[in-house]
Amino acid sequence: MPGIITHRKILDESINFLSLRKKKSFLLKSLKTLFNSDEFYRAALFGAMGPDIFDFIPKRDKKNIYGNKISFFMHNGGVHKVLASMINKIYSYDDKNIEWAGIQRAYLYGLISHAMGDSIFYPFIFYWSGFPDSYNKNEIMLYREQNLLFLYNIDNYFLYSGEKSDFNIESMFFLNNSKGRKKLHSAVKIFLLESIAKEYPEIYKEIVWKEDKNDKNNYLMTGGYLDILPSLIKAAFRLKRNNNRRIAGILKFLKKRIPAYSDFLIRYPDPREINDHVLNLHRERWQYPAGKPGIHYESVENLLKISCEKTVEIWEKIEASMWGKNDRSVIESLRINLFTGEKKAQYHDMKIKNPVRLYFRDRF
């Protein structure tokens, strides 16, 4: 269960960052024009949730209880091939100004903002909230809960520390009407499924349970988790942030009684209890858990700025390649593990941590 609010903040601040650049190039103007469209912006918002959307699939693999296995795989280096496939698809369009291509490009840019944000925030989060050593069930459950509370604490900080203190989960979805029902926009659904099917056919089979019998490449007519994920995400998000005493009591009861761990039972802390210390606003020293050289003093505010700068840098490179010679180096620059923030190191390579135990009182 990701920090959706933080990822929206990263996307919005990255878009705002376009206006702050001193050198105004046609690439920046092209990006600003793209995001000025409400339709394209909404596609980018859904992209900003990244592979975290798979965390809301209620199916769990008994062998991998640390979140959803598809989400874990994508964060642990797998998303690079999906991004590469999407970039190549955007490059392949003869007319890149058509609405279909614009929607897919905006979704891609949202996904890139997610990837850059994760690769910069996650090393910080894992250093301060920890990760399992022995990988026994109880340890995994403990650290998964701590990781989520850390993410939700950052969400609350970014939401309530500024002028705006409202967040509507409905705004994160790019839907269109299909036979009286709201479903994920066709351009995004096809874009995402086509890339996954090409790069990871085994994952595609897990998220799609109905195909067109006459044409297996007709991704629009498939039936699967992508069709119901918007509803699942909205329900889970509201459940985790609700102020209803009865619902909170039920979740608390289930959390104590159910022997198996579930992300769905971990609620957002009361916004009045934001833990400022773990946000590192006092600039304490920390390190990359997988051992990347260097000592860091960044706070979440610093990490937000770095994420935006890196995101815009990648956006510009793709825009330059679209209107000029394709630059394949941009794909290589996205070859990074979202958990560790390094190219080669994976989740299980993390060794360095200094966990601060987070505990929040019940709201009621």
CA distance 152 to 132: 20
**What pLDDT sits at residue 204?**
96
Strands 175-178 and 181-184: antiparallel
Is 355 inside a domain boundary? no
> Among 192, 214, 353, 64, which residue's Cα sits nearest to residue 184?
192
- Total number of residues shown for the chain: 364
> Among 344, 267, 335, which residue's Cα sits nearest to residue 115?
335
Q: Which residues of the chain have pLDDT under 70?
A: 1-2, 60-66, 163-165, 179-180, 254-261, 362-364
Domain count, the chain: 1
Is 358 inside a domain boundary? no
Q: Are 230 and 255 in contact (CB under 8 A)?
A: no
Is 359 inside a domain boundary? no
Is 363 inside a domain boundary? no
Average pLDDT of the chain?
89
CA distance 73 to 336: 13
> Among 119, 154, 115, which residue's Cα sits nearest to residue 340?
119
- Give the range of the structural domain holding residue 224, as residue numbers without chain letter: 4-176+184-349
Is 362 inside a domain boundary? no
Is 51 inside a domain boundary? yes
Helix (H) or strand (E) holding 291: none
Residues 6+ apart with CB under 8 A from 98: none
Q: How many CB atoms lie within 10 A of CB 267?
A: 21
Is 132 inside a domain boundary? yes
Single-letter residue type at 163: E
**What pLDDT sits at residue 63?**
60
Is 273 inside a domain boundary? yes
Q: Are 350 and 126 in contact (CB under 8 A)?
A: yes
